[in-house]
Chain A
């Protein structure tokens, strides 16, 4: 008799404690969001002057500074941020595998990428533009590239936007990377480089004798790559970016990295993509 009631009470207690544990499990659905992280690993480029450039064991550039600002708004101070070089081809995988928590690396938002990555931002809308030698006055827009030699970086799509999408009959000249392009432009081996204006402005700010044409013809939305499904993180990133523009920090950073290039930058918050 007593045994049976004791068993009943024990069973009830067991069920109840089990319930407490189950209850805790149910109330924390967004635990792996970046908003709960104490430290962050952020993927950046290592070879783009003005945006993400590795110098020794430090990274510098606009992307790096924006990432630091956003991480700060998420409650992670600079000493708890680890930057990691993330080449274009590995960005989706690095996020999926959890190798990086966020990516700030001239990462354009496209409908296709959105199926694999949740994008905060964009933090800047770059535009494809043209860079020419300083004395070159005849080029005022992409159409003027007809008959001229443009730099074609292996694996990049930018030059195709001129020759294939816009059907401007320019002559592509192959180059290994944009550093190579800049050298070829200075040496007179190509007449123009056509790619995102921030990338061009970063190169122009290195002191080369070049000129920004300031005739944009596409929109490239630089987004903050997040693990697919981290909506809370995405919303927090968007709020941080809104603040960055409201408090003038965005303009300050754009000046710091691109003012020398005489690029006309936009100092108003970009239209966000929406978290999905």
Chain B
């Protein structure tokens, strides 16, 4: 066919707009059920109305059930993650940092005492503790590896820590061998021991400890994100339960009014029962979800966060205590170790140095005493910051505040000892300084152990709060797998039971 050819058939012109073409003849046929439904004439009949109410009520109840089930599942997931899976595992990885830093502390003590093997907790005691911490570190690394799952970056982090630990142990072995060969007096280390130990402790401080610390922080971040999303999902779910509950109630009330007017009966008992049951179910579910959000919050903020923060504070305190030993064993780096001690003290408990005062240990000792006196006199004046600052703001009452008071008192004593040790060292009485630092029955070790015990007690108090909150959450969720479908089924049956007899009147 070419374009030039005329069409054989004359084109049919469209009908003029003012002359509507007659519609094609439609065979007389009953409209389909769908058409009837869409037209909605049936809605104007009484049985149609009744069926519509029944259907609307059942759909709304079904939606309520779904919404409630999802909300309960979210709450259950949140409790599972924080209370049973990741939460406790993250806390367990926190011991990695502590174990590593205490390993290095034990090495410092062993090297410091030299041939005077009964000083402090003694050569054997330190070695035993070193082995214990080594085992604890291995165990915590396993937990960390599990938490890392398939994430390649996190796995690499765990792997790096383990590799570094191997190198560290080799260096420590070397330092200890040289130390035994030197057979030196306490505090008089030969240069080759100091040099080798410096390599080991630098490796620990610059590579191992940061990585271990970051591991716990990163997995803690996962718990926080999961907590935030689950808690907000529970609260959103709660709002949806209230809304869909209100919808069910509106429909039931509308049906009730319709029946009362149309059938001249005051109350339809079955519908009334369905209404009451809905009110009850929604109220109880709303309360339960609120309580779950509260349990999650307590478990996370009062439990998990505090336990993690205190385990960091404890690890930092131990490594600061070891910096006292390092300060004595390596005079060449005494300035650095003193500064590092101050930095650690400031992160545990920060006080302002006061106007125009330098930030050094001297001003810290003075201001610490003043701030702690003020806090003891009036626990509401918390001007200090750092781990203990957060803790003081968090634990204002109960067992936690008592334990906090003891920990702060212990901390004060530890710092007083530190002051005496440095004053002795400054007067060139190194033997006296070492005696005080390594004194077990009376002296720095005994006081530090008392402080450490108070810290553990404080952490235990938070752990108890955590366990309580999780137990409450588990208890609160008991039975909530069955309640939503069962409640919905009963409401549905009641709705049908209420409307069916009225429908029957039209058969």
Contacts and interface: CB of A to CB of B under 8 A. Distances in A.
Interface of A: 1, 4-5, 8-9, 11-12, 15-16, 18-19, 22-23, 26-27, 29-30, 111-112, 114-115, 141-143, 160-161, 164-166, 216-219, 231-232, 235, 238-239, 242-243, 246, 266, 268-272, 274-276
Interface in B111-161: 153, 156-157
Interface stretch (B246-254, B269-277, B368-376): B246-254
A30 B228 contact: yes
Interface stretch (B83-91, B214-222, B448-456, B487-495): B214-222
B209 interface: yes
B352 to A, nearest CB: 8
B239 interface: yes
A195 B335 CA distance: 16
5 contacts: A8-B251, A12-B251, A217-B339, A219-B343, A271-B210
A271 B213 contact: yes
B232 interface: yes
A229 to B, nearest CB: 12
A224 to B, nearest CB: 14
A111 B388 CA distance: 12
Nearest to B255: A5
A29 B232 CA distance: 8
Given A112-B350, A165-B359, A29 B228 contact: yes
B79 interface: no
Interface string B226-239: 00100011011001
B366 interface: no
- Interface size, B (range): 35 or more
Contact of A216 (B209, B254, B336, B347): B336
B385 A114 contact: yes
B217 A272 contact: yes
Given A5-B254, A218-B339, A239 B224 contact: no
A26 B250 contact: no
B239 A160 contact: no
Contact of B243 (A16, A27, A114, A242): A16
Contacts of A272: 210, 213-214, 217
Contact of B214 (A112, A164, A242, A266): A242
A184 B434 CA distance: 44
Main secondary structure of the interface of B (DSSP, over half): helix
A111 B221 contact: no
B437 to A, nearest CB: 22
Given A19-B243, A26-B235, A268 B206 contact: yes
B465 interface: no
Contact of A239 (B218, B232, B239, B358): B218
Contacts of A218: 339, 343
A8 B250 contact: yes
Given A242-B214, A271-B209, 18 more contacts: A8-B253, A12-B247, A15-B243, A15-B246, A15-B250, A16-B243, A19-B240, A23-B240, A27-B232, A27-B233, A111-B350, A112-B352, A143-B335, A165-B360, A216-B336, A231-B221, A235-B218, A269-B211
A4 B217 contact: no
A184 B104 CA distance: 44
Given A8-B250, A27-B232, A266-B206, A242 B153 contact: yes
Given A26-B235, A143-B335, A270-B210, A232 B225 contact: yes
B336 A1 contact: no
B160 to A, nearest CB: 8
Contacts of B210: 268-272
B258 interface: yes
A-B pairs with lowest CB-CB distance, top 4: A271-B210, A164-B358, A111-B350, A19-B243
Contacts of A19: 239-240, 243
A242 B152 CA distance: 12
Nearest to A168: B335
B279 interface: no
Contacts of B157: 242, 246
Q: Which of A5, A161, A246 has the most CB of B within 10 A?
A: A5
A160 B207 contact: no
B247 A231 contact: no
A30 B312 CA distance: 27
A15 B261 CA distance: 25
Given A15-B247, A27-B236, A275 B254 contact: no
Contacts of A235: 218, 221, 224-225
A238 B243 contact: no
Nearest to B243: A19
B424 interface: no
B316 to A, nearest CB: 10
B257 interface: yes
Contacts of A30: 228
Contacts of A4: 254, 257
Contacts of B220: 274
A246 B246 CA distance: 54
B386 A269 contact: no
Nearest to A236: B221
B222 to A, nearest CB: 9
